[in-house]
Amino acid sequence: MNKKLIIWDWNGTLLNDVEACVQAMNIMLTKRNRKLIEAKLYKDIFTFPVKKYYEILGFDFNQESFEELSVEYIDLYKKLSRKSPLHESVIETLDFFKAKNYRQIILSASEQLALDKQAKERGVFYYFDAIIGLDNIYAKSKLDNALKFIKNSQVDFEQIVFIGDTYHDYEVAKAIGAECILIQLGHQNLERFDLEGKAHIVKDFLELKELFNSKKPLIANNINVGNS
């Protein structure tokens, strides 16, 4: 039985949707006569839980509920993200891990039906043993789903590597005992966080594959992710 597992985050990691997220929020900010944001500022302030991000932008939950704002945002995001592509070299990278006999799953804070739709539309749905999203649109923690998958898989994985783009991905990886690799392509400026000695940070998918082809161990706990 295959005992090597890659857990992929979706938004920002595989899917290049930062621009769609910025555009959606700017439409909401314009509607409320507030200052717009650019991608750099977005990456400097975006956080989990997402409710905190709204608070940073000045939304008043006494005037508008987070639930109502979430519905408005998701409606905009769905329209704007239709053209959001996969990051460069994603499919080649999925093939790379498939050839190395890794099981691959997606673990996301996106709503399940929307997540499935995005993966199918971009031709990557069938690369994954499982695609795991949330049962709501409020983008809270995905940790419970990660723990549930590991428990229900009934496999004692010898190696689990979580690949994401945010500090929350590192938190989830740590909680489930997985190695963590973060890609500098997504929703957060990773320099915001103290990740030295905790996660391995790569700039793109080429560097990610180079890491797995090398004998270089991950920083976190010195487990080799090279050829084994």
DSSP code string of 131-180: EEEESSSS----HHHHHHHHHHH----SEEEEEESSHHHHHHHHHTT-EE
Distance (Å, whole) CA 47 – CA 104:
25
CATH class of 4-16+86-213: alpha beta
The mean per-residue pLDDT over the stretch 108-136 comes to: 91
The mean per-residue pLDDT over the stretch 212-219 comes to: 65
Q: What per-residue confidence (pLDDT) applies to 213?
A: 86
Q: What per-residue confidence (pLDDT) applies to 226?
A: 43
- Cβ pair 11, 110 in contact under 8 A: yes
Confidence grade of residue 31 (pLDDT, cut at 50, 70, 90): very high
Q: What per-residue confidence (pLDDT) applies to 146?
A: 78
> What are the residue ranges spanned by the domains of the chain?
4-16+86-213, 18-83
Backbone angles phi, psi at 104, to 5 degrees: -135, 135
3-class secondary-structure state, position 200? strand
Confidence grade of residue 7 (pLDDT, cut at 50, 70, 90): very high
Percent of the chain residues topping a pLDDT of 90:
74
Partnered with residue 105 across adjacent β-strands are: 7, 130
User: Which position has the higher pLDDT, 47 or 139?
Assistant: 47
Backbone angles phi, psi at 86, to 5 degrees: -70, 155
The mean per-residue pLDDT over the stretch 105-110 comes to: 91
The mean per-residue pLDDT over the stretch 109-137 comes to: 89
Q: What per-residue confidence (pLDDT) applies to 227?
A: 41
Q: In whole numbers, what is the pLDDT of the chain averaged over residues? A: 89
pLDDT exceeds cutoff 80 at 221: no
Output the CA torsion sign for 176, 2, 92, 213: positive
Q: What per-residue confidence (pLDDT) applies to 150?
A: 76
pLDDT digits (tens, 9 = 90+) for 154-167: 667 788 999 999 99
Considering the entire predicted model, what is its pTM?
0.90
Residue 87 is classified by DSSP as: P
The mean per-residue pLDDT over the stretch 108-127 comes to: 94
